């Protein structure tokens, strides 16, 4: 597996506003936290970046997020509470991609809990963090074993995600 590290790119936050004008987009992009993992010297830098990044991307107050925040059960839940107009405690999850049995009961499908985070990881996270898996050895920053770092999806807390991201920085510094 070939890993390419580069300075992160700015990305618009996950908003449900599709009608932003050019000036509004530029103002939002200017707020996007950036990081260059090739210049990182401490895990604390990564942790703070992730806190700022989650706050920006989901348009949440930074005070709601800390290194022990659960990415799905806290951060994503705050977003659902805000968007649904309910309290944090009143957030409930449903199922998507379901069918119905002969009695009208839902069957199959998947729970929508975690879907915002999974979507972020699949679409914008490589740009926001500056880590990409590529196919080209020549353009790679370094080569890694397939299971060397683990997966973002396995990280429950900001701290766990920070540890994973910082392990990539340590690998770069050891090379």
Residue 72: phi, psi to the nearest 5?
-90, -50
How much of the chain is in helix, strand and coil states, percent to nearest 5?
A: 50, 10, 40
Task: Return the DSSP state at 157.
Answer: B
The C-alpha atoms of residue 100 and residue 147 are separated, in whole angstroms, by 38
pLDDT of residue 39: 93
Task: State the average pLDDT over residues 114-132.
Answer: 93
For the whole model, what pTM was predicted? Answer: 0.89
Residue 134: phi, psi to the nearest 5?
-125, 170
The overall average pLDDT reported for the chain is: 91
Structurally, how many domains does the chain consist of? 1
On the question of pLDDT at 173 being above 80, the answer is no
Of 138, 133, 109, the closest CA to residue 122 belongs to 133
Q: Provide the residue range defining the domain that includes 70.
A: 2-174
Task: Return the DSSP state at 146.
Answer: T
Contact 123, 1 (CB under 8 A): no
Residue 57 to residues 28, 53, 150, 172: CA-CA distances in angstroms?
10, 6, 23, 27
On the question of pLDDT at 54 being above 80, the answer is yes
pLDDT-derived band at 120, boundaries 50, 70, 90: very high
């Amino acid at each position: 597996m070939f890993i390419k590290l580069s300075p992160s790119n700015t990305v618009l936050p996950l908003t449900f506003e599709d009608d932003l004008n050019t000036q509004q987009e530029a103002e939002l992009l200017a707020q996007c936290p950036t990081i260059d993992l090739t210049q990182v010297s401490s895990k604390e830098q990564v942790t703070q970046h992730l806190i700022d990044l989650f706050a920006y991307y989901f348009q949440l107050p930074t005070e709601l997020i800390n290194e022990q925040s659960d990415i799905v059960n806290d951060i994503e839940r705050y977003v659902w509470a805000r968007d649904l107009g309910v309290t944090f405690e009143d957030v409930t999850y449903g199922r998507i991609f379901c069918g119905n049995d002969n009695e009208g009961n839902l069957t199959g499908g998947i729970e929508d809990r975690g879907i915002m985070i999974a979507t972020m990881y699949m679409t914008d996270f490589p740009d926001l963090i500056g880590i990409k898996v590529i196919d080209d050895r020549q353009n790679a920053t370094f080569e890694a074993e397939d299971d060397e770092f683990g997966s973002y999806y396995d990280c429950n807390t900001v701290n766990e995600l920070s540890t994973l991201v910082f392990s990539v920085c340590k690998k770069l510094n050891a090379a």
